[in-house]
Amino acid sequence: MVKIGNVELGDFPLLLAPMEDVSDPPFRKLCKEHGADMVYTEFISADGLVHEAKSTFQKLEIFDYERPIGIQYFGGQLENMIEAAEIIESKNPDVIDINFGCPVAKVACRMAGAGLLRDIPHMVRLTEAVVKSTKRPVTVKTRLGWDDATINIVEVAERLQDIGIQALTIHGRTRAQMYKGEANWEWIAKVKNNPRIHIPIFGNGDVDSPQKALEYKNRYGTDGIMIGRASIGYPWVFREIKHYFATGELLPPPDIHERVHAARQHLRDSLAWKGPKLGILEMRRHYAPYLRDLPHIKPYRARLVTEMEPDTLFAILDEVEEVYAGEEMMSLML
């Protein structure tokens, strides 16, 4: 049984990665329904919480059906990280996760996110202060290092464990790589196999199929896998991986009814959580993934990303379901 503090996650948990503008409550709900063992919020700015930014506070909203859930945040100033941790704790998450992995310039070049990989002593000071300021389990997500010349994840893991974090997720790329190239899980395995390490180690990067998930589980020996981009528009990835682990068989991909049902639920929950305007605008990035690989889908997609009336959007989705269900039936008859 893998545990973060007293939070039980099962024998080999699948975690939904915190993704900016993606892993909001409507999306987390879908992933949870399809087998994610633990989910995380979008990453949240400590400075935004301290300065009471309305959009930042909205990201703190979590629901009991999502549990176990971690609230992830980032920052580089000690006082703000402590104060923000107190605000986060008041929202009653199961875990508080610190982001030391975000590679984007506006975060990393301000000595937050992956930028802390260039100043490990400061990373350790920040983390220790947060650990001491909260009763929640504190975890960290980070990368291998700043670049290939400064891969320091083994040292980082030891030092963070020594000051009290209770789990570590490692994205198998450096900051310099951003999201390009292949994730290097050999370094993740070095951390996991380090005899000094006793906290759970989760691997992240490039797991996009049941076959790869099983291969990485067996080859690298992590305590679980965190899945990010492969889940966008495809929350079924969690159930497919679990089914493959249990049976060695691949589930058939979701049919058009499941795909449209997920898009419809996502839209409905987005409208309820964000309101009509923002709910519609922020849903636009999700239609293409839900409807990927459907022949001649472009005209429908164009309508979905320009329409502002909820009823019309639901009608377009109904039309897509009807048209492509007919095409699926025809292909089965041929």
Question: What pTM was estimated for this model as a whole?
Answer: 0.94
Q: For residue range 248-260, what is the model confidence (pLDDT) as tens digits? A: 999 999 999 999 9
pLDDT attached to residue 17: 97
Average pLDDT over residues 94-109: 91
Tell me which H or E stretch contains 263.
helix 256-274
Token pair in block for residue 182: 């292949």
- DSSP classification of residue 181: S
pLDDT at 102 over 60: yes
pLDDT attached to residue 268: 98
Sequential DSSP letters for 210-248:
HHHHHHHHHHH--SEEEE-GGGTT-TTHHHHHHHHHHHS
pLDDT band at 332 (very low <50, low <70, confident <90, very high): very low
pLDDT attached to residue 111: 83
Question: Any idea which architecture 256-333 has in CATH?
Answer: Orthogonal Bundle (1.10)
Q: For residue range 228-243, what is the model confidence (pLDDT) as tens digits? A: 999 999 999 999 999 9
* Residues carrying an active site annotation: 102
Q: For residue range 29-41, what is the model confidence (pLDDT) as tens digits? A: 999 999 999 999 9
Is the CA virtual torsion 121, 83, 79, 81 positive or negative? positive
pLDDT at 330 over 80: no
What is the spatial distance between Cα 334 and Cα 328, in angstroms, rounded to a whole number?
10
Topology at the third CATH level for domain 3-247 = TIM Barrel (3.20.20)
Token pair in block for residue 82: 């402590």
pLDDT attached to residue 52: 81
pLDDT attached to residue 304: 97
pLDDT at 280 over 80: yes
pLDDT at 328 over 80: no
pLDDT at 334 over 60: no
